[in-house]
Homo-oligomer: A and B are copies of this chain.
Amino acid sequence: MRKLKLTKDTINNILESLLKRSPSQYTEYESTVNDIVNTVREKGDEAVFAYTKQFDGADINATNIVVTKEEIEEAYSLVPEELIEVIRKALVNIESYHAKQKQNSWFTSEEGIILGQKVSPLARVGVYVPGGKAVYPSSVLMNVMPAKVAGVPEIYMTTPCNKEGKVNPSTLVAANEAGVDVIYKCGGAQAIAALAFGTESIAKVDKIVGPGNIFVALAKKAVFGYVSIDSIAGPSEILVLADETANPTYVAADLLSQAEHDELASAILVTTSEELANQVESEIERFVKILSRKDIIQKSLDNFGYLLIAENKKDAIECVNAIASEHLEIVTANPFEDMTYIKNAGAIFLGQYSSEPLGDYFAGPNHVLPTNGTARFFSPLSVDDFIKKSSIISYSKEALEKVYPDIVKFANNEQLTAHANSIKVRFE
């Protein structure tokens, strides 16, 4: 983990290094993924089953691709009771937070004119859930619940199975608790293509969300436009903005909580206190030795971990905004005041007891957050992602009559005479 004085050059170098982790960089897989997507689009089930055999070694067909009630029951018997209980508690918080994001249809009415917006849920959503080493039931909850709260009537999930055709039981339990309608045993780029174009066995959806490996990310990019997608997730990130009032043990532990995700994860401290930076450094050394994922943590810290010492608060905040971290902790004397200067961050954790993992699992806000500097323009996954809006326009004869000469002038100036005609026929 490098300890550096914060300068403009430091920031630029760090940004360049972090951006190299972006899935958009992996263009070498693009043609492979495009082939898979196009083949599934043309051949449907046949291609999906063949790729699943090829990549996952699983024999999936039209009769066994959908997870059965019996398999879900079996999953409940395999998952520890305490995990099921925590899933249920977390669900209540997640639902309650997302319910506050719901937007109403609205209209204005004045003298013959009604204008407004009608808000409707998407009809069908597909949620991708990765299989493999790391299984995150919390991720199932975070992707499904905003759709559920938005009122999406049909939620389809797809996730890879193992060679024996089994899906991770905690994924199944989380999906069932969150109210997923159908679960397919299918992963990879082929699953994304199937959801985008539909096959004999897999329903075509309007939007695909959920994390995945580089093949899944590139497949989502390839089908964007045919369907909507969420933003393409990069490796996890935490940035802690701290001053001399921060507890170095807490800061170190929180930085490590993101570093353990992935060798590409990034953990950064920005502080105005050199003493704090030194203390955090030694606390990190102490913790790394005792943590179970120490190899991943060490690589992540070596490559993308920084302790940055800023000359003053202003420089520190500028750095925070430039990096636009997925997770930002503000552990200063006045965290709420400092928050007002933050322009770019996925989720902001304020104060020394707002540890980042609290947001990963439990508090309620979504843990699907913009990464890789995209917090400059993307938002956390939310109910907004599962609705669409239609403009509403209604003019009475009298209201249109008042403005029609203006509309005709505008249309004629744009040389669109059929536009002008459509207004004129009503009055001339």
Contact = CB atoms under 8 A, between A and B. Distances in A.
A382 B393 contact: no
A250 B118 contact: no
Contact of A225 (B22, B259, B260): B22
Most chain B beta-carbon contacts within 10 A, residue among A87, A328, A336, A406: A406
Copy number of this protein in the oligomer? 2
Interface string A363-390: 1111001100011111110101001111
Interface in A340-377: 342-366, 369-370, 374-377
A288 to B, nearest CB: 9
A228 B409 CA distance: 35
B392 A256 contact: no
Interface string A381-413: 010100111111111110110010011011101
A357 B394 contact: no
Contact of A221 (B224, B374, B415): B224
Given A207-B377, A358-B407, A394-B335, A256 B418 contact: yes
Contact of A359 (B90, B353, B393): B393
A114 interface: yes
A266 interface: no
Contact of A260 (B135, B227, B362, B418): B418
Contacts of A397: 353
A143 to B, nearest CB: 15
Contact of A363 (B115, B346, B365): B115
B249 A410 contact: no
A106 interface: yes
A346 B162 CA distance: 42
A122 interface: yes
Given A349-B393, A376-B122, A376-B123, A297 B418 contact: yes
Nearest to A23: B225
Interface string A45-58: 00000000000000
A331 B428 CA distance: 20
B407 A362 contact: yes
A422 B355 contact: yes
Overall SS of chain A's interface: mixed
A393 B425 contact: no
Interface stretch (A78-86, A176-184, A273-281): A78-86
A107 to B, nearest CB: 9
A145 to B, nearest CB: 14
A29 interface: no
A256 B253 CA distance: 65
A76 interface: no
Contacts of A361: 406-407, 410-411, 419
A419 B362 CA distance: 12
A318 interface: no
Contacts of A328: 390
B394 A137 contact: no
Nearest to A388: B379
Given A293-B418, A361-B407, A228 B347 contact: no
Interface of A: 22-24, 80, 82-83, 86-87, 89-90, 97, 100-101, 106, 108, 113-115, 117-118, 120, 122-123, 134-138, 170, 206-207, 221, 224-228, 231-232, 249-250, 253-254, 256-257, 259-261, 287, 291-293, 297, 328, 335-336, 339, 342-366, 369-370, 374-380, 382, 384, 387-397, 399-400, 403, 406-407, 409-411, 413-423, 425-426
User: Which 5 A-B residue pairs are closest in the complex by CB-CB distance?
Assistant: A365-B391, A347-B391, A260-B418, A228-B377, A253-B422
14 contacts: A83-B409, A86-B406, A86-B413, A253-B425, A260-B417, A293-B416, A293-B417, A328-B390, A345-B390, A348-B390, A353-B426, A361-B410, A361-B411, A384-B384
